Amino acid sequence: MTKIISVFIVILSFLQISSVLSQGRNLPLNVSLIYPISINQSRKDNVNVNAGLIGSKFNNLKGVGVNLFYSVLDEDVNGIQLNGVYAETRRRLKGIQFAGMINTATEGGWGVMASGLVNMTFDNFSGLQLGGISNLCFESAKGIQFAGLYNLAGKDLSVLQFAAAGNIAGRYMKGVQTAVLFNFAGLINKGLQFSAINLTRNQHGVQFGLVNVSDVNKGFQFGVLNVVGAKQEGTTLGLFYVYDKTKIQILLSGGNITYGTLGIRFKTNNIYTMLDFGAPVVFSKSEKSLLFTYRVGYSFNLKYLNLNTDLGFTSISSESNQVEDKPSKNQFGISFRTGLERHISGKFGLFANFGALNRADSYKKSKFKLQYIFEGGIVIL
């Protein structure tokens, strides 16, 4: 290896002598060990074909460049550049830039940036960014950002962001954001957000996730929990809905289904959804049993009382099988309840419910049994 480098330096020394007059001019070919041990002796030189054993430094690349480790260009890349570790373009990229670890383009540009770790542009970029960990565009990104962990478009995003952890568009999102954990559009979502948690200030498009949050919704939300902070002009579908007028209430009860039940009720105007957790289950053969129930209902406001009616789905889990020769540790049922609720003060109330539970003995080859419901308790308003 030492002999190869020695021969390489001798060749460069000869070429440097012949290229003195070409400083600040166009070089059809540049060969570099590590600047300034290279054909180009000026950072103002423009190069068409570049080969760097360790690294190169010059002005513009107008063609193809290959460097084993790094390159630093004071202006633009117009063509293709392949680097083993690091590529720095201090103005614009107009083509393809690949680095084993990091690519940077100070004034953005267009084309393809691909790296093992991070791609960074400090101005607008159009095209494709592929980052093993992250893509960071501190202005607007028009195209596709595909990262192993995290994508950022500091201002606007058009087309697509895809990442395992999360995506951020600082202002407008006019395409698709898809991630495992979260998506964020700072000002307006006019496209599709698909993730566990979707966040935006003004929702004009579609949010599809476990939790969807917006200040103003003029589009469509579909998720387990949907939150609209100030204004609802769109459509929201899901298990739980929280609006600025939504009341979140706690219910504690007992009855002939479970000895103790904790319920959380989300009530917007007269419509409510509930999630109940109860244990142990009265009719279970095991003391280690519990159930959860999801309920949807409507509350009629009478003069002194509220009349509540709802439908629910119940899932029951027990320590042991409930039916011989049948996989019946897990059971389910469909319930109907109606009841009266009296508010004693602004923070406290009492309620009593009765109804029916059509209970299946197993999820497999189900046999149903009708059972009446009687329960009562307190509500914390």
* pLDDT, tens digit (0-9, with 9 covering 90-100), for 259-316: 999 999 999 889 999 999 999 999 888 889 999 999 999 999 998 899 999 999 999 9
Q: What is the pLDDT of residue 303?
A: 85
Residue 315 class from Cβ within 10 Å (0-12 exposed, 13-18 middle, 19+ buried)? middle
Do 44 and 141 fall into the same domain? no
Is residue 213 located within the same domain as residue 227?
yes
Domain boundary among 242, 264, 295: 242
For 113-118, the CB contacts below 8 A with 24+ separation are none
**How large is the average pLDDT for residues 40-62?**
95
Distance, in Å, from the CA atom of 36 to the CA atom of 52, rounded to the nearest integer, reads 11
3 against 176, higher pLDDT? 176
Please state the domain count of the chain.
3
pLDDT of residue 153: 97
With pLDDT > 70 as the criterion, what percentage of the chain qualifies?
Answer: 94
For residues 138 and 124, membership in a common domain is answered with yes
Mean per-residue pLDDT of the chain: 92
Residue 48: name the closest of 21, 71, 29, 69 by CA.
29
The pLDDT value given to residue 154 = 95
Parent domain of 163: 59-242
**Domain boundary residue among 185, 213, 242?**
242
Least confident window among 8-17, 63-72, 253-262, 320-329: 8-17
Clarify whether residues 192 and 293 are in a common domain.
Answer: no
pLDDT in tens, 79-117: 999 999 999 999 999 999 999 999 999 999 999 999 999
Q: Are residues 238 and 89 in the same domain?
A: yes
If asked whether residues 125 and 192 sit together in one domain, one would say yes
CATH classification at residue 332: 2.40.160.20
* Judgement on whether residues 203 and 86 belong to the same structural domain of the protein: yes
Both 216 and 275 in one domain: the answer is: no
| The last residue of a domain, from among 58, 73, 95 | 58
Whether residue 113 contacts residue 121, with contact meaning beta carbons closer than 8 Å, is answered with yes
Same domain, 262 and 226: no
Same domain, 113 and 224: yes
Regarding whether 326 and 342 lie in a shared domain, the answer is yes
